[in-house]
């Protein structure tokens, strides 16, 4: 009997110690840094986020960063919309649609400027040669699709003259080389891949079709911003600093980028030649122009206004 009582007492003591340890671990103490969970695709447009992640590992910041890689925009947006991540480097247009559908998101900065190239097969001599051909975009609800619409319109063609299909960005260079599509427009480095492989050529740079277009942006949940004002500000300030470092496009930037994107040096060099990170504010006039095109193309009736969707206070404070 005594042995049985001792066993029970020992078991209760062990359980108490385990529960105590678990409680201590979950609380983390006052010194534990919050972790910001962010989604991304392995594209040149997200380089400031890659740089910031490395800065966070090497420096003393009041937060930790956890980057989560996604294979496609629908997968990333599903995670963002359901709250499984705090934010993302994402297509601003799909985030606008989520906002329109009631997801309380805010765009706080650009991911990049320029760097969207309209690529065609080598046998395509002019935009008119695309009539009846298949042309790929990463998402119908994307700035890339708007750029295609603008290019066709500027050349006197209708959007319906081309067979537009959605395709994951990483598949596009191979699809062009195999003749499954006649062209595509997408985030870098996938345009540069076809040019370097000499399986495709540049029809237009994005700034030749639409100057100061808005494409990828840094998106955060609004409740994350409101519940963590100081952390959100520190995070965006660090992001702006990362953008300045990304704009150097030096060997260090390329080395960091190669950890997140599997591309060779020649492709990366060309991709960086087309893109810039020097000013990551979201211009109101460019945003409203994008809004107008989405309505004109019949993609949406009431996309959110600049005031409803863009929070410029954090980047303004950071600058």
pLDDT in tens, 243-266: 999 999 999 999 999 999 989 999
Distance CA 95, CA 236 (A): 18
Q: CA neighbours within 13 Å on the CB side: how many for 213?
A: 26
Distance CA 225, CA 27 (A): 22
Q: Is the pLDDT of residue 313 over 90?
A: yes
For the chain, the structural domain boundaries read 35-113+213-318, 116-209
Same fold, 35-113+213-318 and 116-209: yes
Q: How many CB atoms lie within 10 A of CB 251?
A: 9
Q: Is the pLDDT of residue 195 over 50?
A: yes
pLDDT digits (tens, 9 = 90+) for 133-163: 999 999 999 999 999 999 999 999 999 999 9
| Tokens found for residue 9 | 């007492």
Q: Is the pLDDT of residue 21 over 90?
A: no
Write the CB contacts of 263 (distance below 8 Å, at least 6 apart in sequence): 189, 192, 193, 271
CB of 143 closer than 8 Å to CB of 215: yes
Helix, strand, coil percentages (3-state) for the chain, rounded to 5, are: 50, 20, 30
| Tokens found for residue 195 | 């040019």
The per-residue pLDDT for 119 is 98
If you compute the radius of gyration of the chain from its CA atoms, what whole number of angstroms results? 23
Q: How many CB atoms lie within 10 A of CB 73?
A: 23
Place 32 in a pLDDT band, splitting at 50, 70 and 90: confident
The three-class DSSP label of residue 210 is coil
Alpha helices in 34-137 (DSSP H): 47-58, 73-81, 92-100
- Provide the β-strand partners of residue 107: 219, 310
Which pTM value belongs to this model?
0.86
Q: What percent of the chain has pLDDT over 70?
A: 90
- Name the nearest CA neighbour of 170 among 38, 44, 299: 44
Question: Quick one: DSSP state of residue 44?
Answer: G
Place 207 in a pLDDT band, splitting at 50, 70 and 90: very high
Place 86 in a pLDDT band, splitting at 50, 70 and 90: very high
Q: Which CATH number fits domain 35-113+213-318: 1.10.1270.20, 3.40.50.720, 3.40.190.10, 3.30.380.10?
A: 3.40.190.10
Distance CA 96, CA 107 (A): 9
| Tokens found for residue 54 | 């490395």
- The stretch 88-114 carries a mean pLDDT of 96
Give the CATH architecture of domain 116-209.
3-Layer(aba) Sandwich (3.40)
Mean pLDDT computed over every residue of the chain: 90
């Amino acid at each position: 009997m005594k042995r049985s009582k001792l066993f029970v007492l020992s078991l209760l003591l062990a359980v108490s110690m385990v529960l105590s340890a678990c409680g201590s671990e979950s609380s983390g103490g006052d010194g534990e840094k919050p972790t910001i969970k962010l989604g991304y695709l392995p594209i040149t447009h997200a380089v400031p986020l890659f740089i910031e992640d490395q800065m966070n590992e090497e420096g003393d910041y009041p937060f930790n960063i956890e980057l989560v890689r996604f294979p496609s925009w629908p997968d990333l947006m599903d995670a963002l919309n359901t709250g499984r991540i705090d934010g993302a480097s994402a297509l601003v247009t799909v985030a606008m649609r989520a906002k329109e559908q009631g997801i309380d998101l805010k765009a706080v900065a650009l991911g990049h400027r320029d760097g969207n190239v309209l690529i065609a097969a080598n046998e395509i001599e002019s935009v008119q040669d695309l009539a009846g051909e298949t042309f790929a975009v990463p998402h119908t609800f994307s700035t890339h699709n708007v750029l295609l619409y603008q290019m066709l319109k500027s050349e006197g063609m209708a959007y319906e003259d081309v067979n537009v299909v959605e395709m994951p960005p990483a598949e596009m260079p191979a699809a062009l080389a195999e003749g499954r599509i006649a062209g595509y427009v997408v985030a870098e480095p996938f345009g540069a891949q076809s040019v370097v492989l000499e399986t495709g050529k540049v029809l237009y740079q994005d700034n030749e079709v639409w100057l100061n277009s808005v494409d990828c942006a840094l998106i955060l949940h609004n409740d994350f911003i409101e519940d963590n004002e100081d952390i959100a500000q520190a995070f965006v300030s660090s992001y702006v600093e990362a953008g300045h470092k990304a704009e150097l496009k030096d060997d260090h930037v390329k080395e960091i980028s190669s950890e997140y994107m599997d591309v060779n040096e020649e492709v990366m060099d060309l991709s960086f030649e087309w893109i810039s990170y020097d000013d990551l504010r979201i211009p109101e006039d460019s945003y409203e122009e994008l809004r107008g095109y989405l309505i004109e193309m019949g993609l949406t009736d009431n996309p959110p206004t600049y005031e409803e969707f863009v929070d410029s206070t954090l980047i303004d404070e950071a600058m």
